[in-house]
Structure 1
Amino acid sequence: MDIHQIKYLITIVNNDFNLTKSARILGVSQPALSKLINELVTSEQIQIFTHGKGRITGLTALGDDLIAHGRQVSADFDQMIQSMRDKSNLKRGTVKIGIPPVVISTIFNQAIPDFINENPDINLQIVEKGGFELQKLLLREEIDLAIIPSPVTNPNIENSVIYRNSVSVWFNKNHRFHNIQHPISLDEISKEHVLTLNNNFMLVHELQDSFHERGIDEHFYFQTSAWDLILNMCLEMPNTVGIVASLVGNNYSHEIEHRELDPFCPWIINISNLNNSYSSNLVKYTRQWFIDYFTQYNQSEVS
């Protein structure tokens, strides 16, 4: 039995033996979590949980003892990791940070070189994934920090807002939306061939929820992880519209236009970390560096 298995068992107990909720918090599928339990029971030849009507209902006496000792082992392990990390050089080492491609090419395109120039001894490793996927990597502790658009609802993730903008609908200047000077409703947008990001991005899940709340059965015409492809397709295909963050079109010509959505759709960017695990001083420093950087950045935009 390893430390990850112990932490999984503790999570199940902490969530009243609800495997669906526990799997979501751990960033794994429910079948994978059930399989882990069965493999653990088989390999250790112990019964940890009691069952009723095919569901976990509680702990056996042995399981109760295991969890009690497991909590102490988990706390000792976290303390050991914290001590090891705290003794490392504050500004030397590797930090793995996940950033969505649309964010890395817009608001982080200057932040990353500035960080590297100021911190040459920190190896900043970038993992480019959509926000939905980055949450899973963060929960599995495969990355140290993540840049995730709101909403981030998992209780094990701590967030600090670093940037605010909005989501817009983009279109060729010859599109009928050119004559509309106010925010465009989702109902009107749903009548078009809609291009947007793929399902690994938080924005898409928010859009789908917004459409469904209004009784609109939206099937996106084309989805991709490349926001610039979406805008290029809008340029070349006047019968399409794209839905991406308002910021991304700054480098495009007047040939492509955008309007805000009705209802207004915010684009809020967070720097996120696990709030139930220890972070090294290096990770804490990196997180605070980006928070301070964007505080100054946002102030300069306002002024």
Structure 2
Amino acid sequence: MDIREIRYIIEIANTRNMTKAAANLFITQPALSKMLKKVELELGMPLFYREGNVMSPTEAGTLLVEHGTGISQIFDEMDSQLRDLKSMKRGRVILGVPPVIAAFDFPEIIMRFRKHFPNVAVEVHEYGARKLESMVLDGMMDIAISMHPVLSDDLSEIIIMQDQIVCAMNPDHPLAKCESITLGDLAPYPFNTFPVNFAVYHELVRKFQAHGLSPMINLTSPTCDFLLKMSSLSNEVCVLPAPCVRYYNKNDLVTRPFEPSFQWGLCIVYKKNINMSEKVRALISCIQQTVEPPI
């Protein structure tokens, strides 16, 4: 017995007449009678008493109609939700972002997405860029924002922002007199930056080591405003992406670029060769429309 047959039997019970039921179901009466006989044979019991043109449910018929009505409603709800899911009205998208950029732009991105898809839930998870890449590869999230370039050949990337890493410090810090700062200039001074599970940390260490220098990393934190505040109070340099400094700096610190420049970029990453849902494509579009374009 399938859902179509259940609905036909419910209609017979509601109309108590084969002719009316067939008309309401837009099928012929012989076809409806044939279906009913088939179901009764499968069950091994009659579902209706026949008294002339009147069809009255038997005990088995009443039981089937009672439960069948609930099944039909559940099926309709399931069908509606599946249609909504296909048309992006429902569902879930899992997005990963580094904590350093979760505050700026992303509330606006989520609100833009919700405006068009109010019943699609967006789960935002905050981790360092490299962990986010690993989670995308493992299928734990749909897309993530990571540091360009990505490390894995199994990930595709869409660049959404290009800027640079800068040094922020008090105006009376000795390095504030420089128009730009080399790694050699920074080496004698303690500085604050992101923790070891962040791509910026590893890139900083790599650059210092490539020049035969050892970085004096004094304090690490994933929180930009905390790092900048500590640098303000301790008169230590803070090494962060320029957009983070622009967003959180209270104008009490000055910024200086590296020489040569220390490039930093953000990209949307997703697993290659996947069948991306329309919801995820829509979220990517919202990110691209909201985040400042690459320069």
Shared topology, TM-score over 0.5?
yes
Aligned equivalent of 1:25: none
Aligned equivalent of 2:222: 225
1:1-303 counterparts in 2 under 5 A? 88-180=86-178, 182-238=179-235, 240-250=236-246, 251-294=248-291, 297-298=292-293
Cα distance between partner residues in 2 of 1:176 and 1:109: 38
Measured after TM superposition, the shift of residue 86 of structure 1 is: 11
Measured after TM superposition, the shift of residue 152 of structure 1 is: 0.3
Specify the SS of the correspondent of 1:263.
Answer: strand
- The one-letter amino acid paired with 2:278 is N
Cα distance between partner residues in 2 of 1:108 and 1:183: 31
Compared with structure 1, are the counterparts of its residues 86 and 219 closer, same or farther at alpha carbon in structure 2 (3 Å cutoff)? Answer: farther
Compared with structure 1, are the counterparts of its residues 286 and 110 closer, same or farther at alpha carbon in structure 2 (3 Å cutoff)? Answer: closer
**Deviation digits for residues 78-100 of structure 1, max 9, x if unmatched?**
xxxxxx99973324210000000
**Deviation digits for residues 36-61 of structure 1, max 9, x if unmatched?**
xxxxxxxxxxxxxxxxxxxxxxxxxx
Query: Is the CA contact 2:132–2:146 (under 8 Å) kept in the aligned structure 1?
Result: yes
- The one-letter amino acid paired with 2:106 is F
Cα distance between partner residues in 1 of 2:188 and 2:107: 34
> Structure 1 length normalisation: TM-score?
0.65
Unaligned runs of 5+ in 1: 1-83
Specify the SS of the correspondent of 2:217.
Answer: coil
The alignment's C-alpha RMSD in Å is 2.2
Cα distance between partner residues in 2 of 1:85 and 1:289: 23
Unaligned runs of 5+ in 2: 1-81
Measured after TM superposition, the shift of residue 118 of structure 1 is: 3.5
Query: Is the CA contact 1:194–1:241 (under 8 Å) kept in the aligned structure 2?
Result: yes
Cα distance between partner residues in 1 of 2:229 and 2:204: 21
Compared with structure 1, are the counterparts of its residues 138 and 85 closer, same or farther at alpha carbon in structure 2 (3 Å cutoff)? Answer: farther
Cα distance between partner residues in 1 of 2:83 and 2:175: 54
Query: Is the CA contact 1:85–1:281 (under 8 Å) kept in the aligned structure 2?
Result: no
Cα distance between partner residues in 1 of 2:85 and 2:237: 53
- The one-letter amino acid paired with 2:231 is C
**Deviation digits for residues 174-211 of structure 1, max 9, x if unmatched?**
2112211x210011112111110012211111111111
Cα distance between partner residues in 2 of 1:116 and 1:245: 29
Cα distance between partner residues in 1 of 2:195 and 2:180: 24
Cα distance between partner residues in 2 of 1:285 and 1:115: 8
> Structure 2 length normalisation: TM-score?
0.67
The number of aligned residues is 213
